[in-house]
Structure 1
Amino acid sequence: MTKTAWVFPGQGSQAIGMGVDLLDIPEAKAQFERADQILGWSVAEICQSADDKVSHTLYTQPCLYVVESILADLLKSKGHRPDFVAGHSLGEYTALYIANVFSFEDGLRLIKRRAELMDSASDGMMAALLGFDRTQLETAIDQTPDVVLANDNNSGQVVISGTPVAVESILNQVKSKRAVRLNVSGAFHSPLMAEAAAQFKLVLDAVEFNTAQMPVLSNVDPLPSTDAAILKDRLNRQMTGAVRWREISLQLPLEGVDRVVEVGPGKVLTGIIKRTCPDLVLENVSSVAEFPQ
C-alpha cells in the first residue's frame, strides 16, 4: 500500500500571485478573511503586490502559511490524506496544523509573532553553498566560532548562518560551485537567534498542542512523532536549531513512504528531495489546477 508524505515549503518559495486562484473558492475565501482579521492586513493584497511585498519576511511567513494551509485543507476536503507530514522551517507550522496539533488561527498567531521577531533581527548573515566538499565545510565550521550549518538540504546544498565575519570566513575557506549571500535580516537557525527565541517561547507556551493525527518529522529531529509535548519542544528549538532536511528526506523511505507531495508554491522541496531520494514519487500541488483527480 502506498504511503504518502505531504511536505510544506518555507521562506524562499513565495511568489507574486500565489494563492490568487483560491479566492474563487468560497471556503478558501472565508479562510483568507479569518487570516486578515488576525493579521490586520490582506494576505491576498500582499500576494498580488507588484513591488514584491510578499518577499518581505514580515509578510512572507504568514502568507505562505495561509496559502499552504488552504491548499492542504482543500486536498483533505477532496478525500486526500497524508500518512506523514513535514515542513521546511516555517513550513513545519503548516505541517503541525494539518496534523491538527493546533488550530489554523493559533498557528497563524504563532507565525505572525515569529515573522515579527525574525524581521527585527539585525545581527547576522546567511549564505547558501552549492557543490562543495562536505568534509572541508564541516571542518571549517568546527574551527570557526560564531557560524553553524543552518540548513542541511541535501548533500550538495546547504545554508550557513552566523556573524558576518564568520560567514565570510567560511566562504573564503571552502571551495564551492556557487555561493550566494542571502537577503535576510538575521542569522536564522543559529544561536544568534537566542534572544528572539526566548521572546517567542512566551507566545508558544500559551498555545495548547494536541496529539498529532499523523506523525510529524520535525526540523530539529527527523524522527516521526505524534506526541504533543515532543512536537512543542521541537518547535521551541527550531528558531536556533538547524533544519535537518537531508535527514528528513532519508527518513521518509525508512518509514515506508514512496510518494511525496509538496503542498505550496514552487518546487523547491521536491527538487531538494530528488537528489537525496531519487526513487521517491514526487508531486506538486501549488494551485487548484494541480489538484489530483
Structure 2
Amino acid sequence: MANAAWVFPGQGSQAIGMGADLATVPLAQSRFAEAESVLGWSVLDVVQDAGDKVSSTLYTQPCLYVVESILADVLKENGHSPAVVAGHSLGEYVALYAAGVFDFAAGLSLVQRRAELMSQASDGMMAALLGFDADELTAKLEATPGVVLANDNNPGQVVISGTPEAVTAVMEGIKAKRAVKLNVSGAFHSPLMADAAATFEAVLEPVLFATAQVPVLSNVDPAPATDGAVLKQRLVQQMTGSVRWREITLALPGLGIDTVIEVGPGNVLTGLTKRTCRELTLVNVGNLEQTATLAS
C-alpha cells in the first residue's frame, strides 16, 4: 500500500486485553521486555488486569504507545510501510517512532513522563460535543473566557477543554445533539496545562529528534514535515494546543493518500475519518491477526 497513511489513536481507545495476542511474536516479546525495563512494570500485566487498570492515565498512555509501536513494527516486518503518519494526541508519539524520529525506549520514556504530568493535572474539565452548529460554537467559545477547542475531530464532533465553569457554560449555551463530560483528570490541550507543558519541555529538550523517514502531520500543525527540530517544537506545543484532526484528515487526499490504516485498538479514528473524507479507504489493524491479513 504505497499510498497509505498510518494513523495512531490516543487515550480513549484503550481496552482490557489489548496487545496480549502479540506476546507470541519474538519481536513483540523483545519490545515488552524493553518496555518493562523502562517503565518498571509489565505492560502485559496491566492490559490484562480485570479491574481496568489500563484506563488509568498513568498506565493508559505507556500501554497504548507500546502496543501501537509493536503493531507498527510487525507491519514493517511484514513488508508494509506508510507514505505519511499522524497520531491523535498520545498517538503522535507513536507516529514519530514509526517515522524513525526517535527509538522505542526514548519515545516510551517521554510518554511515561507525559502520563505522569497529565495524571497529576487535577484542574479543569473536558467535554465532547456532537451534532452542533459550528458558527454558534465558535461564537460561544470566543465569548466565554477559560475554555478552548481542544480536539477538532471532524465536522460534527469536537472536544472542548477549560475551567469547569466555562466548559459547563458552553455545554449549556449551545444546541447540540449530545454534550458529554469526559472522564479525565484535567483540561488537556488547553492553556490550563501550561505548567505541565513547561516541565515537559525541559524533559524534551535533550532528546535527539532525527529527520523523519516519512512526513509527519502534527496535531498542532497538519502541514507535513520531516525536520526533527520542527517536529520537536510542534510536540512542545501539543500539550496546550488543539488537536487539529479534521484538518489532518482533509490534507491526506492532497498528499496522494487513498488509504488510511488505523494502527491500534478500536476504530475511533476510522469513524472520524469516515465522516470527514468519504473517498478514503479505511483499514483497522488492532491485533496480530489483522497485521497478517493486511493486503500487500
- Please tell me the TM-score bracket, short chain as reference: over 0.9
Q: Which consecutive unaligned segments of at least 5 residues does structure 1 have?
A: none
Please tell me the residue identity of whatever aligns with 2:37: Q
CA distance in 1, matches of 2:30, 2:16: 21
User: Is the Cα–Cα contact under 8 Å of residues 216 and 225 in structure 1 kept in the other structure?
Assistant: yes
Spell out structure 1 runs of 4+ moving beyond 2 A. Answer: none
CA distance in 2, matches of 1:202, 1:116: 14
Matched residue, 1:162: 162
Deviates more, 1:127-136 or 1:1-10: 1-10
Matched residue, 2:125: 125
Matched residue, 1:92: 92
Confirm or deny that 1:193 pairs with 2:193: yes
Matched residue, 2:152: 152
Please tell me the residue identity of whatever aligns with 1:231: L
Matched residue, 2:271: 271
Local SS of the residue matching 1:160: strand
- Once the two structures are aligned, what percentage of the paired residues are identical? 66
User: Is the Cα–Cα contact under 8 Å of residues 2 and 259 in structure 1 kept in the other structure?
Assistant: no
Matched residue, 1:213: 213
CA distance in 2, matches of 1:179, 1:37: 41
Offset from partner CA, 1:8-45 (integer Å, 9 cap, x none): 00000000000000001111011001001110111001
Please tell me the residue identity of whatever aligns with 1:83: A
Confirm or deny that 1:172 pairs with 2:177: no
Please tell me the residue identity of whatever aligns with 2:238: Q
Question: Cα RMSD over matched residues?
Answer: 0.8
Offset from partner CA, 1:231-271 (integer Å, 9 cap, x none): 00000000000000000000001111001100000000011
The alignment of Structure 1 onto Structure 2 pairs a total of residues equal to 293
Offset from partner CA, 1:27-76 (integer Å, 9 cap, x none): 10110010011101110010001010100000000000000000000000
Local SS of the residue matching 2:7: strand
Matched residue, 2:34: 34
Matched residue, 1:78: 78
Matched residue, 1:233: 233
CA distance in 1, matches of 2:146, 2:110: 28
CA distance in 2, matches of 1:2, 1:211: 20
Local SS of the residue matching 1:179: strand
Matched residue, 1:286: 286
Local SS of the residue matching 2:115: helix
User: Is the Cα–Cα contact under 8 Å of residues 2 and 83 in structure 2 kept in the other structure?
Assistant: no
Local SS of the residue matching 2:50: coil
